[in-house]
Amino acid sequence: MNEYRVKGLSCANCTQTMEQQIRKLEYGDTARLSYNSAKLSLDPQVSLDKVKKILKSDGAYLEELSSSAHNRQELAHGHDSSHKHTHDGHNAHGHDHEHSHSHGAASLMRNLLIVSTVLYGLSFLLDGRIPEIALIAVYLTAIVLSGYKTFIRGLKNLFSFVFTIDTLMTIALIGAVAIGEWKEATLVAILFGLNEMLEDTGMAKVRNSMEKLLQVAPKTATVLDGASEIVVPIESLQAGQLVKVKPGEKIPSDGIVAEGAGSVNEAAITGESLPLHKTSGDQVFGGSVNNEGLLIVQIEKPYKDSSLAKILHLVQEAQDTKTPTELFINRFSKYYTPLIMAMAALVIVIPPLFLGGEWQHWLYQGLAVLIVGCPCALILSSPIAIVAGIARNARNGILVKGGVHLEQLGRINTLAFDKTGTLTQGKPKVQETIVYNEPLFYRVAAAIESSSSHPLAKAIMQEIELKGVVYTQPEEVTAIAGQGVAANVDGVRYWVGNEQIISPTALNDEVLKQAEALKAEGLTIVLAADQEQVLGLFGIADQIREESSAVIDAIKRSGIHQTVILSGDHQITVERVASEVGVTRAYGRMLPEDKAAKIKELSKEGKVAMIGDGINDAPALASADLGIAMGKGSDSAIETADIVLMQDHLGRLPEAISIAKLVNRIIRFNIIVALGLKLIALLLTIPGLLTLWIAILSDMGATVFVTLVSLTVLSNRTARKSRLQTD
């Protein structure tokens, strides 16, 4: 697929109509034209001339052609599509020219509207004081200045039998002029021009908010090659290279600090504005800013595979996805406009033919009904709010992979948590140790746990390293999900894990009694045993995160009253954590498949979201209506979940829920306003009271209104409220 940037899209409904026309072309069935991002995805075999002709009918045009791979890379780098590399000699002016062109077009439209409005006001003063032909000339000038683009597009569409808002407005204007309603025709043209300008401004604000997210990536990197330094484009970086990052510069890609120390701002990745101190051996993310100190970073991934590049690409894709609400509205609008046109025809014909009505009066009423037939306000009721919500969350380090997931987040009533690393710190420590066979216990536990990355294994290794235990490498290692690990050490088979993995012949009453005593204290038990005896056991505790209790409280206040913990730990341990943080239900001893089954069971009671680490909880994340991962930039989290919290805590989750609920409320409100105003306008036709200016206000006024309401999602008020609740 090739991608084009499209300029001059006039409205969401017109964009949808053009997409349908392009899809009728040969090889065009996979084409996608997005009003939200102003981009067209097209099969390379589609005739560009035919596509340009369709776009031209609406005053739109293609700005640039690029392959999808190059386009994604360019987006990830934050380049404007017209911005060229320095070697072509035009980079200094490309973006500025495009910006000034767009700004100039907007300024021209604004000035024309001002002149038209002045002329319209002047017509009231001149009415009766100048010849009628001169007054008509004033009206005609105002109509042409404010509506000439609409009129040209509308005539082209009319001759092509394409019925967009421009077509309907053109018919209404011609009809109004034909019956001598110059004053109302002028007002309709001015209001429609004002509506287009405000609609473009509102959508531009949302697009600009998204573009700011796409500009966080650096464009070049300073590579160390022996004693020399080479500045290279970011796309040429390779894993293993060393790059120099000075204070104030952006880190070019994911890597490890090889030398130096400094304060790094990771807001581009996590949304956290507070800088983190980084030193040798620490991980850093591409796009984060080195505030102070010189850093030498060893690149782990090419930029295209970095966390930031993936985030930017997914955010870019997310704004183009359509939610169930949007799809329903689009289907509805296909039938709505033809229905209104048929109604307009009936309004014009039936009263004069069968009820003795006056032709000119009911022709006027029918023209007004035509204007009511525009579904722009209805179609815009959802996408601006959705894109604004995605951008707002992305700014906070919360990656929502599509509007459908944002809508879903606002509808969930049950939130299920994995315990370790989400509600707790994920850094457990050994609190107590009971040893039955000291020569073997530590050596076997060290040998088996040394190769594991599980948090409990790390806690055991931290304890054993303090004792200076010498151990050998295990053989025939077998991991058993939710239970532990089995392996051969010095030719003997041993098991390390919970009671489920230990042979019943090795468990005696004394061991079980002491294990239960530790569990009663809320400790997680890890035993080491051979086939015949338990060598010893560790009692491990994970510290609860400081913010967990406040987060759960804020989540409940947001309307999610059922919270659940699903954990592989002992039931008593899980219940202790649930009690301390305020979670309503707790389930322990759960294998990955048990978690998935429990999620399906909970789904019978309502919409369920699951929060996990994106790896061990993959089955549960997939089974839930919504999968949320705590990512901190990890590939698995980004790929697995529907929503990724790029922080290593839940602090921003209540805010994300609040934004999602706000978006859903705004969409419902916008739909009610859009349909409600149209219904009122249509009802006015019964007594014959519908006028052209009332008709245009019912749609154009609604369009402007829903746009402005949707833009409130970008404000900081909701975010501040949520943060105060969790502080």
Rounded to 10 degrees, the C-alpha dihedral 100/105/110/114 comes to: 120
Contact 76, 309 (CB under 8 A): yes
Token pair recorded at residue 169 = 């407005």
Report the C-alpha gap between 172 and 178 in whole angstroms: 10
Token pair recorded at residue 5 = 């940037």
Beta carbons within 8 Å of 154's beta carbon, 6+ residues apart: 164, 166, 167, 168, 169, 170, 171
Backbone phi, psi, residue 237, to 5°: -65, 140
Nearest to 290 by CA among 211, 226, 222, 213: 222
Neighbours of 300 (CB within 10 A): 16
Determine the 3-state secondary structure of 5 from DSSP. strand
Report the C-alpha gap between 58 and 78 in whole angstroms: 29
Radius of gyration of the chain (CA): 32
* Cα torsion 566, 567, 568, 569: sign: negative
> What is the secondary structure of 385-454 as a DSSP string?
HHHHHHHHHHHTTEEE--HHHHHHHTT--EEEEEIIIIIB-S--EEEEEEES-HHHHHHHHHHHHTT---
Beta-strand pair 39-42/32-34? antiparallel
Q: Does the annotation count 418 as an active-site position? A: yes
Determine the 3-state secondary structure of 61 from DSSP. strand
Which residues on neighbouring strands pair with residue 529, listed in sequence order?
495, 534
Neighbours of 220 (CB within 10 A): 17
> What is the secondary structure of 99-142 as a DSSP string?
HHHHHHHHHHHHHHHHHHHHHHHHHHHHTTTS-HHHHHHHHHHH
Nearest to 241 by CA among 250, 251, 10: 251
Catalytic residue among 58, 418, 530, 617, which? 418
Residues annotated as catalytic are 418
